[in-house]
Amino acid sequence: MIFYTEEKNNGYIVIRFAAMKFSFIYTVFFLFLAGIPVTRASDIRIGLFYDREIQSAVFTVVQGEYILFGDGKQIKSLRRGSILLIDYTADGVAIQDTAESHGGFDQIEFRGISSENVFSIKPVYPSFAGKESDDDLLVGVAGQNLRIINRLDLEKYIAGTLEAEGGIAAPVEYYKAQAVLIRTYAVKNFHRHSFEGFNLCDGQHCQAFNGKSRWDEEIHAAVLATEHEVLTDQDGQPANTAYHANCGGMTASAAIEWNEDLPYLTPVNDPFCSESSQYEWRKVISLNEWRQYLLSKGIVSSLLPDNLTQQPARLKYFTFGDRRILISDIRQDLQLRSTFLTISQESSNMIFSGRGYGHGVGLCQEGAMEMARVGFVYIDILMFYFRDLIISQYRSEAFVK
């Protein structure tokens, strides 16, 4: 992947990019007038309904015009409102509408040919909620199921993901910071699912993507204002841009939380998230349950860790005599909101008092929202949570369709 980095505060560069954006918009407008399908700058392929097994689904044209291809050969064109049933069969993918049916394809493709193309895809066997999305749809076979892939413009994917991951009704500078993180993740993990024929999945495994952004004004503005921007490290590589709901007042280092020593993911004292609802939590379990849990870890010496006195720092382990437990294991086993916690005993109960929600590494979303509310711009927010990273321009030519 190729990057070039430039200082954001250099007025000349800002003007140059503004000019590039204007000329791009002008070109798109011209092509639109001329009736020529617009070639998108860079595409990404998203595996839809990744954690489900689907045998049948219904495709509908919501906006624009599509051409349907079967194994690369043109079958028919589809206008707004056209509906087709797509089935898995032992011979391959089959398609059917009220007039005709075709079958035996390795892959079918619905290719949008208007300036704006929107479709919906609704699984019917099994039946569950579908998605509406932009641009193209590819359907092939995976095992005894359909493999459903949305090929769309990268920036439209960023907008859809921003809506799913970033929360609603947040300040625009926060949305801009989050858009840069989501774009950086997409670029960094571009080949995560390559062996399955797409780039990223639509689930929590990658980034949640619920389909088309409603293009709320703030989300639209945030994606356009940060177009092509990604965070890179000192070597020019896309950074690990982790984020979480609330850090509890101090972010976690990647070294402690993930055994991954990244100099830009080190603890930051965060005064911005303390008024948020997810800043503190508390969980009570019985003494007996805790004793059984410790026993399952081979610990019988004591009920309370020896190193509690080191709190409120973020610790990696709790030690019990010559044994220790990863706090991230305790979090997972007891389904706690964070690893930033202390333990105490009150008569026959154990009290877990914790701060924050999530793994705590990288950007704290509730802190970032508050920073935006009090007037920080997105670059300030990113530089506060990620140390010594650079905002770079991603060169879309590096994407391979």
CB of 1 to Zn ion, least distance (A): 19
Binding residues for Zn ion restricted to 258-287, rule: CB under 5 A: 270, 273
Under a CB-based contact definition with an 8 Å cutoff, are residues 150 and 40 in contact?
Answer: no
The answer to whether residue 206 forms part of the interface with Zn ion (CB under 5 A) is: yes
Binding residue count for Zn ion, defined by CB under 5 A: 8
With binding defined as CB under 5 A, does residue 327 bind Zn ion? no
By CB under 5 A, residue 46 contacts Zn ion: no
| CA–CA dist 287, 274 (Å, integer) | 30
CB of 47 to Zn ion, least distance (A): 7
Closest approach of Cβ 399 to Zn ion, in Å?
18
Under the binding rule (CB under 5 A), the answer on residue 84 touching Zn ion is no
- Spell out, one character per residue from 287 to 316, where the chain touches Zn ion: x when CB under 5 A holds, - when not: ------------------------------
Binder among 61, 149, 201, 265 for Zn ion (CB under 5 A): 201
| CA dist., res. 67 & res. 69, Å (int) | 6
Enter the tokens of residue 267. 């603890």
Distance CA 399, CA 42 (A): 6
Query: In this complex, which beta carbon is closest to Zn ion, that of residue 290 or of residue 340?
Result: 340
Pair 48, 129: CB distance under 8 Å: no
Name the residue among 123, 110, 127 with its Cα closest to residue 62: 110
CB neighbours of 33 closer than 8 A, spacing ≥ 6?
A: none
Candidates 64, 171, 305, 367: give the one binding Zn ion (CB under 5 A). 367
Question: Quick check: helix, strand or coil at residue 331?
Answer: helix
Tell me the residue length of the chain. Answer: 401
- CB of 12 or CB of 195, closer to Zn ion: 195
Q: Which is nearer to Zn ion, 47 or 305 (CB)?
A: 47
Q: Do the Cβ atoms of 227 and 184 come closer than 8 Å?
A: no
Query: Other C-beta atoms within 10 Å of 138: how many?
Result: 19
Give the range of 77-85, 243-251, 314-322, 383-391 binding Zn ion by CB under 5 A.
243-251
247 makes contact with Zn ion (CB under 5 A): yes
Biggest CA pair distance of the chain: 79
Minimum CB distance to Zn ion, residue 36 (Å):
35
Query: DSSP 3-state assignment of 229?
Result: strand
182 binds Zn ion (CB under 5 A): no
Under the criterion CB under 5 A, does residue 360 sit at the interface with Zn ion?
A: no
**C-beta closer to Zn ion: residue 385 or 394:** 385
**Contact positions vs Zn ion (CB under 5 A):** 201, 205-206, 247, 270, 273, 364, 367
